[in-house]
Amino acid sequence: MKQQDAARAVLIEVINVLGAFKDDIVIVGGWVPDLKYPDKKHIGSLDVDLAIGPNAVGEDVYSSILNRLTESNYAHFTAPTRFIREVPDASEPVKVDLISGEYVAEGDKTRAIMVDALKINSIRGVDLAFENCEEITITGKMPNGSDNVVNARIVSPEAFVLIKAFALDERNKEKDAYDIAFVLKHYEPSIEALAENLKPIVQDGLGADALQILRDKFKTLDSVGPVNAAAVAEESGGDREQEQQAAFQNAITLFEALAE
């Protein structure tokens, strides 16, 4: 089984295992573009990222979240948010990270929250996912090969781009830029529509900070955003020069539309 297929199977299984909590879980991370724009040949992801909403903090309903995962063959490692799932025929175990936003208690920032015995790391920008998400239906294989259908909340493309901007600013992972460029390329009906939907989110606070990061990372054709996006696209068969130019031009189109 390809590693991406194994990760997608784990995503479906985790959503099923934690189905009772789906109102407080949002899919974020590298699977978002593939789920929002199927059949557009996104490369998928090798792991699973789920954001735990602020309403869950302190609620008794989350007392079983750790047990539910461990009882479903997920090993809990020392990294406070990480679980590992072995998948038959996959070359490596699939990582599942549970994360929260920074603003979880009366506006105070925190690096981690406790959901009963489970410590969940806080990531900058993830708060945007809880404010900008929608429900989708996901179909596919489970790790044991069975077919399944699950309903899950997923971050909106607008908020996803902003959350990925913070990732671009805080780590050196080429796929972050690729994911941003992919959404800009496939957003429907147009980049101008994306700009209109972004305007209320980027007026201040986290949204404004993320937009400035995007402007910096995609400032020129040779900025880290277009360069990294093209590098990943090339690995999956894309033309590096064309992908770099497209990533840059789409970003500039977005910035110009936001300024109108």
DSSP state of 72: T
The CB density around residue 140, as the number of other CB atoms within 10 Å, is 14
Which residue bears the tokens 């902003």? 162
Tens digit of each residue's pLDDT (9 = 90 or more) over 191-249: 999 999 999 999 999 999 999 999 999 999 999 999 999 999 999 899 999 999 999 99
Which residue bears the tokens 């549970």? 98
Cis, peptide link before residue 189, omega less than 30° from 0: yes
pTM: 0.91
Tens digit of each residue's pLDDT (9 = 90 or more) over 133-172: 999 999 999 999 999 999 999 999 999 999 999 999 998 8
Compute the distance between CA of residue 260 and CA of residue 253 in angstroms, rounded to an integer.
Answer: 11
Counting runs of H as helices and runs of E as strands, what totals does the chain give? Answer: 10, 11
Mean pLDDT of 53-63: 59
Residue ranges of domains in the chain: 3-155, 157-259
Residue 118's pLDDT is 58
Compute the distance between CA of residue 31 and CA of residue 42 in angstroms, rounded to an integer.
Answer: 9
Q: Pull the structure tokens for residue 158.
A: 């607008």
The pair phi, psi for residue 86, each rounded to 5°, is -75, 130
